[in-house]
Amino acid sequence: MDLSLPSEALNWRRRAKAFAEEHLFPHEIELEMNGSLPAATLDRLRRAVREHGLNGVNHAREVGGQGCSQLEQTLIGEELGKATGALWAIVPHPAVALKHGTQQQIDAYLRPSCLMERRACVAVTEPGAGSDPRTILTRADMRDGRFVLNGEKWFVTSGDVADYLIVHANVDGDPDKPTLFLVDKALPGVRIAREPKFTHTYVFGHPEFVFENVEVGDGQVLGAVGGGLELTKDWFVEARLQIAANTLGAAIRAFELANAWASERHQFGRAIRDFQAIEFMLADMAVEIMATKSLVYRVSWEIDSGVDRKLVHARASALKLQASEMAGRVLDKAVQIFGGRGYMRENAVERLNREVRVDRIWEGTSEIQRVIIGGQLRKRGTDIFTGWD
């Protein structure tokens, strides 16, 4: 049994690491202090993404992507996840649902998104529908051969910089017809209502959108009418894998910084790592990261080996739960090891500590991951989590 990483995967890791260190880390403080980056800097970073060949890693080469395996995507996500301010969001990851587009939609949306000429955002959540997307109220009514969209969407990540949205709406207001629509942001009736501030520093925004009588043709339906929930679930799975990789990277960076600081910092005449209280924290951090990394790599490898989709869904929840909660615990310890310096925004550990908090909320809260895992235990038994064939 050879568990070493393939050389091609290691090449991707090197490439992502170099990109993060050369292009993302140098902008962290500027972003933290100003809350945003100048347009010229963002343009330069986007060009750098293309130069490093990191655009569209989750899509096939035929549609403008890089055709990376899941394991390669995980290694890339781990390296990029080390950056603060969510600078990794500059590297586009066009929604997996776009794979189900018609040829026309692939040409008009997916390919240009992979090539960074266009950018999508995904609009599912509403004021009244969060963990339970089946209760959305946004509707698409057929009038004179066109769909007319009305509704409100919240927390639309990168909605400020995207030029089109993938909107989850119920056709005729019927909850049995959840459907995804490709909606160009410039269309009449599409409006950003508010751009709230959040706990974390994030290179882009999470605005709230309102749709008032927005007309789209039936060529804007992504997948089938009524197929929206299934496509949204696929998006959740991909996003959960990505969160697992990113939070793993965040935890590793914080751990390395805390480990170095524990040697450097002296109190009471010795390095603080000589106090067992500190040493034990470092030991727990090391083991937590090691266990999570094993899980994340294993599930990524299983996906590449073509494991059943339902199994992937269950394990992606386990992965997201474990990685995001592990990162919270590791970051909390890292802050503690840094003492007062761990509370200063100029310290990457302070920023990461704030930033990994959302990973227990978005793309399904920790409670929802447990609901999914619990449901799978009832349906399929323990083996899908504890077995290893």
Ligand X SMILES: Cc1cc2nc3c(=O)[nH]c(=O)nc-3n(C[C@H](O)[C@H](O)[C@H](O)COP(=O)(O)OP(=O)(O)OC[C@H]3O[C@@H](n4cnc5c(N)ncnc54)[C@H](O)[C@@H]3O)c2cc1C
Binding site for ligand X (CB under 6 A): 122-125, 130-131, 155-157, 198, 206, 358, 361-365, 367-368, 371
DSSP secondary structure code for residue 106 in this structure: I
User: Between residues 200 and 341, which has the closer beta carbon with respect to ligand X?
Assistant: 200
Coil vs helix vs strand at 177: coil
Residue 93 phi/psi, 5-degree rounding, is -130, 75
Alpha-carbon distance of 169 to 159, in angstroms, equals 17
Smallest separation (angstroms) from ligand X to the CB of 126: 8
> Can you give the C-alpha Rg of the chain in angstroms?
21
212, two tokens: 């008032």
17, two tokens: 């690491």
Alpha-carbon distance of 109 to 111, in angstroms, equals 6
Smallest separation (angstroms) from ligand X to the CB of 28: 18
CA 96 from centroid of its chain's CA atoms: 12
CA 242 from centroid of its chain's CA atoms: 5
User: Between residues 130 and 151, which has the closer beta carbon with respect to ligand X?
Assistant: 130
Query: How many CA atoms lie less than 13 Å away from 82 in the CB half-sphere?
Result: 25
User: Between residues 65 and 130, which has the closer beta carbon with respect to ligand X?
Assistant: 130
C-beta neighbour count of 40 within 10 angstroms:
8
255, two tokens: 């751990």
Smallest separation (angstroms) from ligand X to the CB of 159: 7
Question: Which residue sits closest to ligand X, CB atoms considered?
Answer: 130
Query: How many CA atoms lie less than 13 Å away from 298 in the CB half-sphere?
Result: 16
Smallest separation (angstroms) from ligand X to the CB of 63: 22
User: Between residues 71 and 166, which has the closer beta carbon with respect to ligand X?
Assistant: 166
Smallest separation (angstroms) from ligand X to the CB of 108: 21
162, two tokens: 């995207």
User: Between residues 15 and 354, which has the closer beta carbon with respect to ligand X?
Assistant: 354
Alpha-carbon distance of 241 to 301, in angstroms, equals 12
User: Between residues 74 and 157, which has the closer beta carbon with respect to ligand X?
Assistant: 157
Smallest separation (angstroms) from ligand X to the CB of 93: 12
Smallest separation (angstroms) from ligand X to the CB of 370: 7
Smallest separation (angstroms) from ligand X to the CB of 122: 5
Whether the Cβ atoms of residue 238 and residue 96 lie closer than 8 Å to each other: yes
Q: What is 245-306 written as a DSSP string?
A: HHHHHHHHHHHHHHHHHHHH-EETTEEGGGSHHHHHHHHHHHHHHHHHHHHHHHHHHHHHTT
User: Between residues 106 and 123, which has the closer beta carbon with respect to ligand X?
Assistant: 123
Smallest separation (angstroms) from ligand X to the CB of 254: 20
Alpha-carbon distance of 30 to 354, in angstroms, equals 17
User: Between residues 69 and 157, which has the closer beta carbon with respect to ligand X?
Assistant: 157
DSSP secondary structure code for residue 1 in this structure: -
Strand partners, 270: 267
DSSP secondary structure code for residue 364 in this structure: S
User: Between residues 107 and 195, which has the closer beta carbon with respect to ligand X?
Assistant: 195
DSSP secondary structure code for residue 55 in this structure: T
User: Between residues 278 and 356, which has the closer beta carbon with respect to ligand X?
Assistant: 356
Smallest separation (angstroms) from ligand X to the CB of 367: 3
